[in-house]
Amino acid sequence: MAVKKHDVERNPAQFLQERGFRLTPQRLMILAAITESQKHISAEEIYARVSAQYPQVNISTVYRTLALLKEQGLVTETDLGEGRVRYHAADKGHHHHLVCQSCGAIFDLDEALLEPLERSLLDEYNFEADIRHLAIFGRCSRCRQRAAPAKGQEVIDAHP
Amino acid sequence: MAVKKHDVERNPAQFLQERGFRLTPQRLMILAAITESQKHISAEEIYARVSAQYPQVNISTVYRTLALLKEQGLVTETDLGEGRVRYHAADKGHHHHLVCQSCGAIFDLDEALLEPLERSLLDEYNFEADIRHLAIFGRCSRCRQRAAPAKGQEVIDAHP
DNA sequence: TTGCGTGCAAACGGTTTGCAGGAAC
DNA sequence: GTTCCTGCAAACCGTTTGCACGCAA
């Protein structure tokens, strides 16, 4: 069944066109790379994908297109603490990540879990949280089991 | 009363020394800059402070020292989404930030508010969250009042 | 035909590295 | 006297920019 290629490509494309932006092959391919990607994708990865079928694209076009798509609300950014930002189609909905600091695994986190937090931020601080992509760092289930005795990784008590 | 300079300087310094690291003037001054800073401080800011009294320091020394201090658990990092990391003495305790995307203001957030989240991550995902510094983006009370009609800033439904 | 979007190359800002000389122990 | 730490300079990496050409509309 794969991805409904035409749908995912046509809607954002149409959206851009209606706004007066030109539909160039580069933009369409960049859009496709993002919407077809299962996970969050970085600018470099988009560039790699696109240039595989269209070698003359330039990385700066990728960045300019990403800026446009973000501006138009078609993609959102996530900072997973890697020193680089990742992108993701806005229509795929928001979700959050648990990033394991031991093994690097990334787990998706149900949005609902953050609702209580959002509510109390609103109630107690009158702060309207925009939690579209949140990365929470820590240690995953598997790594916890493997290293059961330890409780934290940079704890200051170490007496070797 | 100010900061108890000797205490804050001596403890981490002593700690480093006991671990076999040398106590150089550069390290002491960098340590002092961090512990004396009220708010989170960036590498560049540390460099500026230190080089004010010791012009020959190099920014690379700041980075190397920060890496050491982080490794030894004496400072922790926060990523406030500025494209640069900020540092903060570990013994000042953990706290979190509400970052207003409209006006840039940064508010401190009580650690207790995150406990329910941490607990449910542990319960439901067996994930041991290491939430030492979290930045939550959104819109602060004042900016919400000022722009009451809007509900989100990049919402996709816009029909101008 | 018009002007937006692109490729190119160079610059950016924050951070990291190799090296040789100098200081802490 | 060793060895670790530093300053220097250059490289790094992801990202941004100025410019002239070319293509979508």
Per-residue pLDDT, B10: 52
Protein-contacted positions of strand D (CB under 7 Å) = 4-10, 13-18, 23-25
d(CA A115, CA B59): 42
Looking at the domain that runs over B1-90, which CATH code has it been given? 1.10.10.10
Consecutive H or E run containing B95: none
Q: What is the pLDDT of residue A159?
A: 29
Exposed/middle/buried for residue A158 (C-beta within 10 Å: 0-12, 13-18, 19+): exposed
What average pLDDT does this structure show over B8-32? Answer: 89
| C-beta atoms of A73 and B155 within 8 A | yes
End-to-end CA distance of chain B: 57
Residue B123 host element (H or E) = helix B115-125
pLDDT of residue A103: 75
Residue A106's H or E segment, with its range, is strand A106-109
Domain-by-domain residue ranges, chain A? 1-90, 94-141
Global pTM?
Answer: 0.76
pLDDT interval class at B153 (50, 70, 90): very low
Near-strand D residues (CB closer than 7 A): A 17, 22-25, 42-44, 59-60, 63-64, 67, 83-85; B 21-22, 24, 26-27, 54, 56-58, 60-61, 64-65
pLDDT at B147: 67
Would you state the pLDDT for residue B107? 84
> Whole-angstrom Cα distance, residue B32 to residue B26?
10
Residue pLDDT, tens place only, B114-131: 888 899 999 988 999 887
Measure CB to CB from residue A127 to each of B74, B125, B141 and give the nearest one.
B141
For chain B, the average pLDDT equals: 81
Q: Are B22 and B61 in contact (CB under 8 A)?
A: no
The average pLDDT across B146-156 equals 46
For residue B79, name the pLDDT band (cuts at 50, 70, 90): confident
pLDDT at B1: 44
Element (H, E) at B57: none
Per-residue pLDDT, A97: 82
Which nucleotide across the nucleic acid strands is nearest to B27, CA versus C1'? D5
The Cα-based distances of B63 to A145, B74, B75 in angstroms read 34, 14, 12
A94-141 architecture in CATH? Answer: 2-Layer Sandwich (3.30)
Q: What pLDDT does A102 receive?
A: 74
Contact of A104 with chain B, judged by CB distance below 8 Å, is answered with no
Protein residues closer than 7 Å by CB to strand C: A 21-22, 24, 26-27, 54, 56-58, 60-61, 64-65; B 17, 22-25, 42-44, 59-60, 63-64, 67, 83-85
- On whether any CB of chain A is under 8 Å from the CB of B14, the answer is no
Contacts of A130 in chain B (CB under 8 A): 101, 137-139, 152-153
Structure token pair of residue B91: 């013994």
Mean pLDDT by 10 residues, chain A (160 residues): 45 92 96 90 96 94 97 89 85 76 78 87 88 80 72 33
Tokens representing residue B157 in the block: 């439904």
CA distance A73 to B156: 6
How far does chain A reach from its first CA to its final CA, in angstroms? 56
